Amino acid sequence: MFDVHVHAAPDVLDRIGYDDQIAAGYAAAGYTGFVLKAHHEPTVGRASALSRSTTLDVVGGITLNRAVGGINPAAVLSALSTGGRVVWFPTADAHTQEAARLPRLEDLDERLGRATLAVPPVLDDPEAEADIALTLDLIAEHDAVLCTGHVSGDECRWLFQQAGRRGIGRFLLTHPSYTVPDMAVAEIAAFAQRGAYVEITAYQLLHQPGMTPARLAEVARAAGPRLVLASDAGQPDSPEPAQALEQLIAVLAAEGLDLGWLRDAASDTPRRLVLTHP
């Protein structure tokens, strides 16, 4: 098993365990590795240290929120040049996050202000668009994974078009059926048919208002062979990440989905997406 989306302490939000504790849990559960995500700092150094001190393949990356300068090609180059494999577009600082009143770093200190981030077609800023273009080129040159983060459906479509034009071969829709971006099943299916990978997370099952196992199963069917299952766990009110992902698989299997396919979506598929080189 290979979990492509997990959170650990230290973090600005409370987490169920520190990096080494999370890694020990995965090792005990027989996982081969995981992707360590943080909303407000690069995780490349933390992941590298875990890989050296455990038997796991631990992967880091960078999320393009305000704490790293937003959509900042210098930060992206630094992360990818030191072994990062994943770039998430804005999450906590996406304009959709603010509109949905979901948690943001700015909640900790009002002096930061409520500025948000966007990409075309929402954005109308030539200088920022140049930074986005360079960021996309860097992702392509390093053969890294572009994850859509919490941007809107329109922005996901734009990013997917740009990925195709710029030679980005690894494109993952970050939990597209989550509150943000809240994509329809038919649209998710269209992305998958055109080559995008589609993520479903245990966090959605455990915490997303209005989400049901039946709807998650619909999304899984729409994703087909491009399905990626992940925990997105690490919250104190969630199970241990490995157990959260196993719970997601069991719930989807109870909806009539093939267990072998589901397990592949939580193991070989995400591992190939993140680690396998041509």
Bridging pattern class, strands 197-201 and 145-147: unpaired
Q: What is the CATH number of the domain that holds 129?
A: 3.20.20.140
pTM of the model: 0.97
d(C-alpha 161, C-alpha 247), whole Å: 34
Q: Which pLDDT tens digit goes with each residue over 18-44?
A: 999 999 999 999 999 999 999 999 999
Query: Is residue 278 scored above 70 in pLDDT?
Result: no
From the number of C-beta atoms within 10 Å of its C-beta (0-12, 13-18, 19+), residue 239 rates as middle
Q: Are 194 and 219 in contact (CB under 8 A)?
A: no
Domain count, the chain: 1
Q: Domain limits at 245?
A: 2-275
Residues 211-249: tens digit of each pLDDT: 999 999 999 999 999 999 999 999 999 999 999 999 999
Q: Averaged over 153-169, what is the pLDDT?
A: 97
> What is the reported pLDDT for 139?
98
Q: What are phi and psi of 211, to 5 degrees?
A: -75, 145
Task: Inform me whether the pLDDT recorded for 181 exceeds 70.
Answer: yes
